[in-house]
């Protein structure tokens, strides 16, 4: 892929990388984010028809501008990790190790406690099981210990009758999906090991759930969301995502990861980076995320992660259209672990599947355009999805793809 424009200045550092001919508008949108938003350090990548057409990075490694945001910089991507876990589970489905329609307890017998015996894998992955937190208090140390947190979840009662609604399992989704991967994998690998051996190494990705200590210096620290000062917004936030609310408990695991006002701070710690939190602590870069999703559409470097049949099943929305999320209040939509397009997270349109992350990161595939997209950043914006910086880049990519396709 030729670098059509060389380096351009960004706040704190140069914009580096390249775009293929015809994809210059994505570079322009990336530059615009540094000029017109509070972007600090970021990366964006796009694959189209199996080829990498955008790979850009730039800005500052941290808020102090101690170094440039470089080609090898790594970034924690919060809930964008959920899509990685969904891909791992889909590989297991494709290999006949697990069936979306089967009861979870068929693979994880302890899960049957408290009336969950009939809950299906599909219901679990689409946030319909009412397990957005655990019963009782839990410490951060307990949450970072895989056997402890998964045992607690198996012994937790659903917060609503399973299948009667859905609510965002902001943290628990990853342990639930990851434990299923571990249970059905013939080698009983952790999901972190599974992702390394089945996704990252075959595709040559910088992608970890559970980061090795020797890579820690490459991780750009998350710059937390700006504090809320508007009294009306503070009141609304307390009502919907404050302590003791479904949203607040889901996003912090009953406060184990701090208050919503501290959201992001705990995720800069080495302990959190080292743990396996498949809903929230994936560490990667934009090009790896885009390449990963490209390999769900067609072979990339000889690797196709699963069949088209499995992909169609995994990306099909199963939550009722327009149904409000019991934790986030607004309507959301899910397939088999993937978020699908709604106004909450539109991606590039109705055919897309992927996942956004708190503060702005996002990765997805768009089968209708044979396009895959990844965006990562260190400066969190004040939202869980639909970040304007990412959407500007997505819109530019869509326009370029449609020109390339002659639409």
Where are the chain's structural domains? Answer: 70-407
pLDDT of 184 reads 98
Please give the pLDDT value at position 326: 96
Give the phi and the psi of residue 404 in degrees, each rounded to 5: -60, -35
User: What is the rounded average pLDDT of the residues 191-215?
Assistant: 98
Tell me how far apart the alpha carbons of residues 401 and 340 are, in angstroms, rounded to a whole number: 20
Q: Tens digits of per-residue pLDDT, 130-140?
A: 999 999 999 99
Segment (H or E) for 55: strand 51-59
* DSSP assigned state of 9: E
Looking at 16, 60, 66, 79, which residue is catalytic? Answer: 79
Give the model's pLDDT for residue 382.
Answer: 78
pTM of the entire predicted model: 0.95
Q: Centre a 10 Å sphere on the Cβ of residue 265 and count the other Cβ atoms it contains.
A: 15
Residue 383 has pLDDT above 90, yes or no: no
Q: Report the C-alpha dihedral over residues 115, 278, 78, 48, rounded to 10 degrees.
A: -110
Rg (CA), the chain: 20
Is the predicted pLDDT of residue 69 greater than 90, yes or no? yes
What are the Cα distances from residue 287, in Å, to 8, 42, 82, 103, 149?
A: 19, 11, 17, 36, 32
Q: Which tokens is 211 given?
A: 């980061």
Mean pLDDT, all residues of the chain: 93
Overall average pLDDT of the 114-135 stretch: 98
What are 324's two structure tokens? 């409000």
**Per CATH, domain 70-407 is 1.10.645.10:** no
Residues in Cβ contact with 204 at an 8 Å cutoff, skipping those fewer than 6 apart: 291, 301
Residue 262 pLDDT > 70, yes or no? no
User: CA 35, CA 267: separation in Å to the nearest integer?
Assistant: 27
The two three-digit tokens of residue 5, written as one number: 């424009």
pLDDT of res. 14: 86
Give dist(CA 407, CA 398) in Å, integer: 11
Both tokens of 402, joined, read 């449609």
Q: Over the stretch 209-236, which tens digit does the pLDDT of each residue have?
A: 999 999 999 999 999 877 777 677 666 6
Closest Cα to residue 78, out of 277, 341, 342? 277
DSSP state at residue 178: H
> What is the average per-residue pLDDT within 11-15?
72
169-193 residue pLDDT tens: 999 999 999 999 999 999 999 999 9
Report pLDDT for 3.
54
The pLDDT value given to residue 42: 98
Q: What is the pLDDT of residues 336-349, one digit of tens each?
A: 999 999 999 999 99
Can you list the positions of beta strands (E) in 210-258?
219-220
Indicate if 284 belongs to the active site: no
Give the 3-state secondary structure of residue 238.
Answer: helix
């Amino acid at each position: 892929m030729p670098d059509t424009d060389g380096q351009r200045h960004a706040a704190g550092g140069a914009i580096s990388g390249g775009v293929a001919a015809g994809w210059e508008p994505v570079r322009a949108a990336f530059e615009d984010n540094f000029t017109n938003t509070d972007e600090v350090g970021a990366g964006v990548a796009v694959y189209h028809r199996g080829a990498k057409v955008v790979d850009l990075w730039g800005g500052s490694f941290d808020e102090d501008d101690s170094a440039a945001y470089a080609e090898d910089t790594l970034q924690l991507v919060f809930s964008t990790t959920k899509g990685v876990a969904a891909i791992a589970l889909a590989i297991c489905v494709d290999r006949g190790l697990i069936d979306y329609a089967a009861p979870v307890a068929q693979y994880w017998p302890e899960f049957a406690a408290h009336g969950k015996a009939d809950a299906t894998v599909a219901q679990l992955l689409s946030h319909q099981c009412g397990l957005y937190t655990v019963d009782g208090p839990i410490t951060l140390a307990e949450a970072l210990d895989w056997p402890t947190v998964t045992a607690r979840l198996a012994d937790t009662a659903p917060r609503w009758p399973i299948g009667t609604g859905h609510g965002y399992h902001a943290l628990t989704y990853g342990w639930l999906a990851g434990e299923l991967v571990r249970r059905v994998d013939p080698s009983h690998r952790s999901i972190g090991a599974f992702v390394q051996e089945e996704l990252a190494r075959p595709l040559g990705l910088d992608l970890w759930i559970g980061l090795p200590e020797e890579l820690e210096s490459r991780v750009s620290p998350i710059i937390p969301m700006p504090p809320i000062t508007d009294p009306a917004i503070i009141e609304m936030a307390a009502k919907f995502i404050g302590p003791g609310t479904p949203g607040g408990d889901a996003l912090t695991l009953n406060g184990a990861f701090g208050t919503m006002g501290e959201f992001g701070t705990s995720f800069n710690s080495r302990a959190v980076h080292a743990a396996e939190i498949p809903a929230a602590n994936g560490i990667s870069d934009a090009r790896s995320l885009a390449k990963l999703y490209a390999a769900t559409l067609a072979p990339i470097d000889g690797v196709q992660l699963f069949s088209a049949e499995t992909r169609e099943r995994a990306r099909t929305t199963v939550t009722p259209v327009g149904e409000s999320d019991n934790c986030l209040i607004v309507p959301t939509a899910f397939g088999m672990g993937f978020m699908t397009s709604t106004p909450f997270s539109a991606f590039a349109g109705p055919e897309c599947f992927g996942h956004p992350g708190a503060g702005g990161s996002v990765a997805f595939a768009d089968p209708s355009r044979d396009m895959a997209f990844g965006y990562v950043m260190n400066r969190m914006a004040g939202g869980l999805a639909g970040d304007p910086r990412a959407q500007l880049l997505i819109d530019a990519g869509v326009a370029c793809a449609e020109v390339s396709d002659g639409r």
